[in-house]
Structure 1
Amino acid sequence: MVKSGLASPLFLCKYPQENITIQRVVAKQADTLQQTARIRLAAGKGRSMRRKEEIEAYAENLFLPITQKHGFELVDVEYVKEAGSWYLRVYIDKEGGIAVDDCEVVSREADPILDTDDCIEESYILEVSSPGLGRPLKKDKDFARSIGEEVEVRLFRAVEGCKEYTGLLNAYDKTTVTLMLEDEKTLVLERSNIALIRLALDF
Structure 2
Amino acid sequence: MPHPLTDNLEQLARPVARAAHLEVRSVEVLAHRIPLTVVVRVQRADGTDVHLDECAAVSGPLAEALEASGLLTMAYVLEVSSPGIGEDLLSDREFTSFRGFPVEVLLRRADGAETSHRGHLLSRDEQVVQLNARGRILRLPRGEVLRVRLTEAPSDS
TM-score by length of 2: 0.61
Who is 2:6 aligned against?
56
Q: Aligned partners of 2:15 and 2:139: how far apart in 1?
A: 38
- Root mean square deviation of aligned Cα: 3.9
3-state SS in 2 of match to 1:132: coil
Work out which of the residue numbers 18, 34, 40 in structure 2 matches 1:68: 18
Who is 2:79 aligned against?
127
Who is 1:89 aligned against?
39
Who is 2:58 aligned against?
106
Residue 116 in structure 1 maps to residue 68 in structure 2:
yes
Matches within 5 A, 1:1-203: 49=1, 52=3, 54-82=4-32, 85-94=35-44, 95=46, 96-133=48-85, 135-137=86-88, 143=90, 145-146=91-92, 148-149=95-96, 150=98, 152-153=102-103, 165-168=119-122, 170=124, 179-181=130-132, 183=135, 185-186=137-138, 197-198=149-150
Deviations 1:120-142 (A, max 9, x none): 24443211000113x132xxxx6
Q: Unaligned 5+ residue runs, structure 2? A: 106-115, 153-157
Segments of 4+ in structure 1 off by > 6 A? none
Q: Unaligned 5+ residue runs, structure 1? A: 1-48, 172-176
Aligned length: 131
Matched AA of 1:58: N
TM-score by length of 1: 0.49
Q: Aligned partners of 1:184 and 1:73: how far apart in 2?
A: 38
Contact 1:152-1:165 within 8 A present in 2 as well: yes
Matched AA of 1:180: L
Matched AA of 1:136: E
3-state SS in 2 of match to 1:185: strand
Contact 1:79-1:86 within 8 A present in 2 as well: yes
Who is 1:35 aligned against?
none
